[in-house]
Chains A and B, each alone.
Chain A
Amino acid sequence: MTVNSIHWFRKGLRLHDNPALLEAVQGADTLRCVYFLDPWFAGSSSVGVNRWRFLLQCLEDLDASLRKLNSRLFVIRGQPANIFPRLFKEWKISRLTFECDSEPFGKERDAAIKKLASEAGVEVNVKTSHTLYNLDKIIELNGGQPPLTYKRFQTLVSTMDPPDPPQKPLSKALMGRCTTPVSENHQEKYGVPLLEELGFDTEGLCPVVWPGGETEALTRIEKQFGKDSASTMEEIFQRPKLNSSLLVASPLGLSPYLRFGCLSCRLFYSRLTELYKKVNKNPNYDKLLWREFFYTAATNNPRFDKMEGNPICIRIPWDKNPEALAKWAEAKTGFPWIDAIMTQLRQEGWIHHLSRHAVACFLTRGDLWISWEEGMKVFEELLLDADWSMNAGSWMCHSCSSFFQQFFHCYCPVGFGRRIDPNGDFIRRYLPVLRDFPTKYIFDPWNAPEDVQVASKCIVGVDYPKPMVNHAEASRLNIERMRQIYQQLSRYRGLSLLATVPSSHGEDVNVNGLKGVVAPSSGKRRRGSGHGSRRDHRSGEEHAGPSGVKHRSAGAAETLNCCGKAQSGHGVAGAQGQGDFSHFVIPQQPYRLSRLGSGGSGKRERESEQEAGVDNGLPTSALKVQWHSNVKNAAQQEERMTMSS
């Protein structure tokens, strides 16, 4: 019987370490590698021209590599669900292979295609190679829920077997007798389209800083770990002092290649392992593991990129402000540090991760108080390595909407840049209008005396915008808003700006607990028993003043507020816990949880809760201690309920 295979490329645009592709040629007579592209969709999609250019280059490169194996890439115009049935028939397909896509949208799409394939009698083979680990295993190991702290994630992963080593690249030898039927008009029918064909205006397009494709990716990784590995070693082991040369695109950078799968994460992993072995150090895979962490967090959460309806995202009353958003996105904020980064992003498609921290913080909790979802969309358009899970996860992280960040870690749009780029080289590179500005004022040109502005041929307010916000004032307001929101979620003690970030180590609880009394407190403890405990916890976070006066701003109302669902007195406080699992409960359906937590809590409590409405931020550490030690089981349970709801 003849075996005719299709390998379906989506991500994983490579021939090396591509287990599904190897599966496709295994004992097969023919192989056709396909990539689906909808030209109509392309022009109207939210993905910007740089990202399309990168993708097309990846496809060109893939096609070139396949030609060397006497094969070709088939770029198919249209949607997979519409076209696969026809291809199955036309090409008499018996096997379909592709790389596992862990993202919810991808899973849904793949399930539909699998169904079509089975209807057509096509065998489907799926392999995991975009992530190091099988994400479902991590989730299983964590009791059915994705871990919500990176530390917890690291702990879980450290108990697992190391990732599989990368597999051999597809070669003529591996192709064996497998061939690709290529028609005369292949180029016309299945060739990689040009940007213009997709409806993009290529005039004025900046030169390529990040050439797409597997070949480039392999060159880069060879440079990183080959002869030039000295600088890699330095970066890894010495942590070079922050400087502006870090901010510009490095010829060794790998993130876009990992995103499109031009580079296998397992290859990167194994090269890192070798390097660490060579220098005899404990390996550190943070770069790869953060990626894995977000993939894991997102894989079962189709609303991972939204605030509403996303069980792990705190609801923050962001401002809707399209003008301010546009200024940020178009590099017109009046803060050279922010504008230079956004210019670099638009022109080149990549910015350093510290730059990402800076602009993400500025847009959201730092200055503009605009929703992270908006920023995420702009990155989705411009950032080459933007990936649904990574992009949304990082934005939630930076806006302190999830994953337990300390919100006081704010980046100053003036000082942070100055620290990294004391000479202003980075600013001058991307904002030529400020080129002649003296270094002293280049991060805050509005403070330059008029004669300096004249001499620099750049008048602030004419040639370069005035700062769109007063940073000191904005950060005062925003810190206070965050403090209120987080206090309602009960992760911050009354006066404190420091959160108790859940730890994955049980022993912490006690240490924190016993010594956690930062400010005097009434010690008005509540008995946390069984169901009632959730409620106890909530009251615990209110502010019984030190004297124990019944004087609380109740979690209930406030909690809900922050979740935007106010009005019922019986919402649910976000719970936070420590223990063997990481906890993070953000209620989405208060009524549900309130029923769960409704146990035997008496009226007395409810009355005290009702002394509500005003946040007064009194310390309640003693109460919290109480909660920590007694309630974690309930909270764990509750977390699960919330997460599964």
Chain B
Amino acid sequence: MMKRARVNITSKCQGFPSADGRIKRQKTELLGPFLAQRPAEDWGNLPHHVVLQIFQYLSLVDRARASSVCRRWNEVFHIPDLWRRFEFELNQPATSYLKSTHPDLIQQIIKRHAQHLQYVSFKVDSCTESAEAACNILSQLVNCTIKTLGLISTARPSFMDVSQSHFVSALTVVFVNSKSLSSIKIDDTPVDDPSLKVLVANNSDTLKLLKMSSCPHVSPAGILCVADQCHGLRELALNYHLLSDELLLALSSEKHVHLEHLRIDVVSENPGQTHFHAIKRSSWEALVSHSPKVNIVMYFFLEEEEFEPFFREETPVTHLYFGRAVSKDMLGRIGLNCPRLVELVVCANGLEPLDEELIRIAERCKNLTAIGLGECEVTCSGFMEFVKKCGGRLTQLSIMEEVLIPDNSYNMEQVHSEVSKHLGRLWYPDMMPTW
């Protein structure tokens, strides 16, 4: 690194673009005469804590640049406080437009700052090598006390392409060594039951959040073991096939803290063939009576005919998202059986207008405050009825313009003004450009 022990303030300060020239001037005036007497007093001699303060507002790149100015700044550069959080970005030029974290920087972190890291995430592109590189780094994080770990595939789920043994051994390095993990996000990875056991064995007191949607190697028993032993778990995201009555009961046990969020992805593994199990009403009730404020979020990516087992009985879901299709039947049942519903988003639907179903939802789901309708149809009259019934409690109302079918009672113009009246604010349907 370049050594430059003395840097003269007056000459150097121009090199730092200043957001506010006035302050710069003041400082120079203040320090000017002082400097003239004692040229040794310069930027390089600013106390550590001042430089640290400044560094905290710089990007890593700028910090790295500044660290090559002088020895003292270089020392500050390595102060542990600045290395608590790090995000590794691992991309290949062939598969991503984004740059990777520089390999030298990665090496330096592993060598000098691994023990300082507490909040770590990995963002990998769709290339298997990137995910493998992430695993390689993970397996070197031996002396660290990580609290938060996120493995994020930014394009395709590339961790799924890493060999399971490689992935699991890398992950368990962190599980075993950190011992104070509180948040883990490992969606779309080949994590398995044994690795979850290791997680539980080492971090059961601290674990608060676990996101593991679409982890096909985890079984209901594996996740049950987490729920049984990690009593501080507040948030959980998983796929429906891992959701069981036992799991809900475990999360509702006396020892367990209140659950805050439960997110469930309902995805069919083999389209058209999966039969989904049902959850008992009593299990849901146990969960809600233990954690009355729990948010239960369900994302559905199913074909219409697969909805059969859902919402046959009262279900305490709060946020519902239909990504692919939803049958009229199913929406009808939601109106009957989802009294806690807060938000409903229907991305796609069949060909028939959803008037009745929506009106029923407006009548029965008294907590509903947000609704989004994408590729489906509602008549303007039906929609007006829905809005009237919900009234001002609808804080989010996002309807694609083409969803609304004008009829004899309302055209689009009227819908706009009537809805605005009922909501107490100006409202327009969402529009895409007419290219």
Contact = CB atoms under 8 A, between A and B. Distances in A.
Interface of A: 150-151, 238-239, 241-242, 255, 282, 286-287, 290, 293-294, 307-308, 315, 317-321, 353-354, 356-357, 369, 371, 385, 390, 393-394, 397-398, 405-406, 408-412, 415-416, 418-419, 422, 470-473, 475-477, 479-481, 484, 495-501, 503, 505, 507-508, 511-512, 515-516, 518-520, 545-547, 549, 551, 553-554, 557, 560-561, 564-571, 590-592, 594-596, 598, 606, 610-619
Interface in B261-304: 261, 263, 265, 267-268, 271, 293, 295, 297, 299, 301-303
B430 A518 contact: no
Nearest to B374: A409
A591 B424 CA distance: 40
A498 B396 contact: yes
A556 to B, nearest CB: 8
Contacts of B405: 241
B172 interface: no
Contacts of B435: 255, 290, 353, 356, 385, 390, 394
Nearest to B117: A613
9 contacts: A282-B413, A308-B97, A353-B435, A406-B430, A409-B374, A518-B370, A546-B293, A554-B85, A619-B295
B301 A472 contact: yes
Contacts of B94: 320
B113 interface: no
B204 interface: no
Interface string B87-131: 101010011111101000000000000000011110101100000
A569 to B, nearest CB: 5
A241 to B, nearest CB: 7
Given A473-B301, A511-B423, A614-B119, 19 more contacts: A282-B413, A406-B430, A408-B321, A479-B323, A495-B263, A496-B319, A496-B396, A512-B395, A519-B318, A564-B99, A567-B59, A569-B82, A571-B59, A611-B183, A613-B149, A613-B150, A614-B184, A614-B185, A619-B295
Given A307-B97, A319-B95, A516-B395, A412 B343 contact: no
B156 interface: yes
B219 interface: no
A551 B155 contact: no
B61 A568 contact: yes
Contacts of A472: 267-268, 271, 301-303, 323-324
Contacts of A598: 57
Contacts of A393: 433
A94 B152 CA distance: 64
Given A472-B271, A595-B19, A614 B97 contact: no
A51 to B, nearest CB: 16
Interface in B14-39: 17, 19
Given A412-B348, A564-B99, A616 B261 contact: yes
A412 B324 contact: yes
Interface in B373-388: 374-375
Nearest to A286: B434
A111 to B, nearest CB: 28
A100 B84 CA distance: 54
A136 B90 CA distance: 42
B374 A564 contact: no
B343 A498 contact: yes
Contacts of B342: 518-519
- Nearest first, the 5 A-B pairs at minimum CB distance are A568-B59, A317-B154, A319-B155, A613-B119, A566-B87
Given A500-B396, A590-B59, A613 B121 contact: yes
Given A567-B60, A606-B56, A618 B260 contact: yes
B325 interface: yes
Contacts of B412: 239
A293 B347 CA distance: 27
A480 B265 CA distance: 11
Most buried by A among B59, B101, B325, B413: B59
A512 B397 CA distance: 11
Contact of A569 (B85, B98, B123, B348): B85
Nearest to B304: A415
Contacts of A287: 434
B211 interface: yes
Contact of B59 (A495, A565, A610): A565
A319 B433 contact: no
A617 B263 contact: yes
A151 to B, nearest CB: 6
A618 to B, nearest CB: 6
A473 B267 contact: yes
B345 interface: yes
A551 B182 CA distance: 9
Contacts of A369: 155-156
B87 A357 contact: no
B62 interface: yes
A250 B268 CA distance: 41
A406 B372 contact: yes
B248 to A, nearest CB: 19
Given A415-B325, A496-B370, A409 B148 contact: no
B20 to A, nearest CB: 9
Contacts of B183: 551, 553, 611, 613-614, 616
B392 interface: yes
Contact of B123 (A282, A498, A561): A561
A461 to B, nearest CB: 17
Given A398-B432, A610-B118, A497 B97 contact: no
Interface string B299-312: 10111000000000
A545 B234 contact: yes
A409 B121 contact: no
Contacts of B410: none
Contact of B258 (A371, A470, A547, A619): A547
Given A475-B323, A614-B183, A546 B347 contact: no
B185 A616 contact: yes
B400 interface: yes
Interface string B394-405: 011010101001
A542 to B, nearest CB: 12
Given A242-B402, A290-B434, A615-B185, A505 B260 contact: no
A422 B258 CA distance: 49
Contacts of B57: 570, 591, 594-595, 598
A300 to B, nearest CB: 20
Contacts of A484: 152
B434 A618 contact: no
Contacts of B155: 317-319, 369, 481
A520 B91 CA distance: 38
Nearest to B392: A515
Interface string B216-235: 00000000000000000011
Most buried by B among A477, A594, A606, A618: A477
B400 A409 contact: yes
Contact of B121 (A319, A611, A614): A614
A294 B426 CA distance: 24
A557 B343 contact: no
Nearest to B232: A549
B433 A476 contact: no
Contacts of B350: 415
A618 B267 contact: no
Contacts of A293: 433
B119 A319 contact: no
Contacts of B56: 569-570, 606
B150 A614 contact: yes
Interface string B39-71: 000000000000000001111111100000000
A18 B97 CA distance: 43
Contact of A560 (B87, B261, B432): B87
B255 interface: no
Nearest to A317: B154
B424 to A, nearest CB: 6
A475 B299 CA distance: 11
